[in-house]
A = this chain, B = another copy of it.
Amino acid sequence: MADTQVQTMTGAEALVSTLADHGVTACFANPGTSEMHLVTALDREPRIRSVLGLFEGVATGAADGHARVTGGPAMTLLHLGAGFMNGGANIHNAKRAWTPMINVIGDHAVPHLRYDAPLTSNIMGLAGPNSNWIKSADTVASTGELAAEAWEASFGPVPGPVSLLLPADSAWTEGGKSGKKRARPSLRAPDAARIEAAAKQVKSAKKPVILVNGTCLTKDGLAHAGRLSAAGIRVLTDTFFPRQARGAGTFIPERMQYFAEAAMADLEGADLMLVAGTQVPVAFFSYPGKPSVLVPEGCTPYIIGGPETDSAAILAALADALGAKAAAGVAPRDEHAMPSGDLNAMTVGMSLSRHMPEGTFVSDDGVSNGLPCFLMTQRALPHDWMMLTGGAIGQGMPLALGAAIAAPDRKVLCLTGDGAGMYTNQALWSMARENANVVNVVFVNHSYRILNIELARTGAGNPGPTAKSMLELGQPEIDWVKLSEAQGVPAVNATTAEEFDKALERAFASDGPHLIAAHVPAR
């Protein structure tokens, strides 16, 4: 450094500048009194863009979306234990997406903690279970070093959210020092012996399948997946995954069925299940008399590498070991005709395939309406599809916000159910504030439709009026256009396939956020 003058820094400044030194470029924040010095430290750090959320679940979901686009962690700024809990569901989701994320949680000054002030809580206890790493910077001298350690820890071995607590006195005191620069950790290289063993098993299997996730779902990874497919191995992705490259020119893997009995029927006869970049598949929920592990009898699961491994490299090495050639057919572009008539998830998907610009990032929290859209866009222009992996609905709009901040030159499409969208509807305001290029499609069916399906599947009996009412959102009907406009995002209703198609085309053609309330029947 040219500047040898000794600079004094507060702990907050040491933390923030150390994260910036490591390449962190965004902070999604909902600050309170105990974080005021972090706010002014962010003010002085031009390398980090600060984005305000009106609710912490917006901040943590956006940090997840930002990281899925950039590959590195974003920072969040949360207000004590209560702020952590408000952001907790989307931290859970991020953990299940193996997303690196640095949650900076403000705390009371250390000498103040013993007095049990109203906002005091056991943050270590609350945040510990969903943090892959958690420490508290209880001295100002530790702030920079722990920031560097947190950044490194967010990469794994399995990437995920980490928590760094910052007591207010560590934040405000002078004497902060930059943390030592760390090298960026990589995912593990594949284990050669396991690949050899897998290749051997494939050769003696009648119906081998491989379940893939992680870097398998990059454009490169899918090219190798196509080679395995050409060599006779059925390629399936997890039902939900953090991000998949797709569209014209990309190999199309199959996707594991959501419902356990459908998944088991689909896998019938498979005698080998290789696993790359994920775990042996399990049912999302348990049901009376239905299996938990989704591996049919007579089928041997074999994990070549879990989520800590660069699974694209597994596919490449396995394809080489099997002497597999390049895949024959990859998906050509297939533009659906303009749909007409009743609006439903299928016609929405057709319009998406027509109008999604190349490079679109999709944030899919569409619940019961997600799958038809997914299927109809297999041969759209090349794009990336991001899903809710942790099951805590309400992630869609925050994730889209974060992706849009990370990729301002790309379009982001958010698919969300109306039930899901209400959880963190405050994300709309941040989209308006940041002029984020997000087209929000809300599937309005005035129902927790998935729960109506699940009610029957769980055998919970014939629903009476109370049970039915607990799954209906129609009394009163939520006016999504007003809800969106109230927060500064222009919005329209669409009730036919034609209306939706035109609204979508217009939304993609203009800058900034938009919302389309897609009125689809609940059936």
Contact = CB atoms under 8 A, between A and B. Distances in A.
Contacts of A92: 81-82, 85, 121
Copies of this chain held together in the complex: 2
Contact of A486 (B29, B451, B478): B478
A458 B127 CA distance: 26
Given A126-B130, A286-B108, A429-B422, A36 B88 contact: no
Interface stretch (A136-144, A374-382, A467-475): A467-475
For A88, A285, A478, the residue with the greatest tally of chain B CB atoms inside 10 Å of its CB is A285
Given A82-B391, A86-B89, A54 B465 contact: no
Nearest to A82: B392
Contacts of A42: 466-467, 470
Interface stretch (A67-75, A112-120, A209-217, A220-228): A112-120
A282 B426 contact: no
B458 A117 contact: no
A240 interface: yes
A253 B521 CA distance: 57
For A82, A88, A128, A419, the residue with the greatest tally of chain B CB atoms inside 10 Å of its CB is A82
A193 interface: no
A43 B389 contact: no
Given A286-B108, A478-B429, A455 B36 contact: yes
B50 A470 contact: yes
B57 A286 contact: no
A425 to B, nearest CB: 7
Given A285-B168, A459-B172, A118 B240 contact: yes
A460 B125 contact: no
B108 A86 contact: no
A29 B111 contact: no
A284 B32 CA distance: 12
B126 A465 contact: no
A487 interface: yes
Contact of A85 (B40, B89, B115): B89
A175 interface: no
A82 B420 CA distance: 13
A482 interface: yes
Contact of A125 (B117, B125, B483, B486): B125
A208 interface: no
Interface string A282-312: 1111101000110000000000000000000
Given A82-B392, A425-B425, A419 B54 contact: yes
A364 interface: no
A52 B429 CA distance: 25
Contact of A168 (B168, B286, B392, B487): B286
Contact of A470 (B31, B130, B293): B31
A25 to B, nearest CB: 14
B423 A476 contact: no
Nearest to A468: B43
Contact of A284 (B119, B293, B481): B119
A464 interface: yes
Contact of A88 (B32, B88, B282, B292): B88
A423 B43 contact: no
A39 B118 contact: no
For A125, A286, A451, A463, the residue with the greatest tally of chain B CB atoms inside 10 Å of its CB is A286
B88 A43 contact: no
A50 B485 CA distance: 31
Nearest to A38: B460
Interface string A480-523: 11110111100000000000000000000000000000000000
Contact of A483 (B32, B55, B88, B482): B482
B423 A33 contact: no
A88 B283 CA distance: 27
A483 B476 contact: no
Contacts of A119: 284-285, 390-392
A40 B125 contact: no
A37 B485 contact: no
Given A422-B426, A433-B475, A40 B460 contact: yes
B89 A118 contact: no
22 contacts: A37-B460, A39-B471, A57-B86, A81-B129, A82-B93, A86-B88, A92-B121, A111-B286, A111-B292, A112-B285, A115-B292, A117-B284, A117-B286, A117-B292, A125-B129, A126-B129, A168-B458, A425-B426, A480-B486, A482-B483, A483-B483, A486-B486
Given A40-B467, A83-B392, A117-B286, 18 more contacts: A34-B285, A36-B458, A40-B464, A50-B469, A55-B422, A82-B92, A82-B390, A85-B86, A86-B86, A108-B285, A112-B292, A117-B282, A119-B391, A126-B126, A432-B476, A478-B487, A478-B488, A479-B486
